[in-house]
């Protein structure tokens, strides 16, 4: 059996540092934010670290709970 190496997503829909910044600015922990939007703390950690992609629905929920526009959390398109 071959061990598969874990890889980061090629294209993220969100900016991990922006999610972390907005969460910290709001005074929430990863656990509190995860509970507020209905995901696991592990998934929230992986979203903030860039190991998992935030779905558009989860990104909208995160923005709503953090009271910030979704565009602040979205990854800017490279041209």
- pLDDT confidence of residue 74: 92
Kindly report each contact of residues 1-5 with a partner whose C-beta sits within 8 Å and lies 24 or more positions away, as own/partner.
Answer: none
Q: Is residue 10 part of a domain?
A: no
Q: What tokens does 60 get?
A: 């909208």
- Domain containing residue 41: 16-73
Q: Is 52 left (phi over 0), alpha (psi -120 to 50) or beta?
A: beta
- Total structural domains within the chain: 1
Series of mean pLDDT values for 10-residue runs along the chain (79 residues): 67 91 97 98 96 95 96 78
Q: Is residue 57 part of a domain?
A: yes
Q: Is residue 28 part of a domain?
A: yes
Q: Is residue 5 part of a domain?
A: no
Q: Is residue 29 part of a domain?
A: yes
- pLDDT confidence of residue 13: 84
> What is the CATH classification number for the domain harbouring 35?
1.10.260.40
């Amino acid at each position: 059996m071959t061990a598969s190496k874990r890889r980061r997503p090629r294209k993220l829909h969100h900016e991990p540092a922006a999610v972390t910044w907005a969460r910290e600015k709001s005074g929430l922990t990863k656990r509190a934010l995860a509970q507020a939007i209905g995901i696991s703390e592990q998934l929230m950690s992986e979203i903030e670290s860039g190991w998992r992609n935030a779905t558009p629905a989860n990104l909208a929920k995160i923005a709503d709970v953090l009271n910030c526009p979704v565009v602040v959390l979205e990854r800017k398109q490279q041209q």
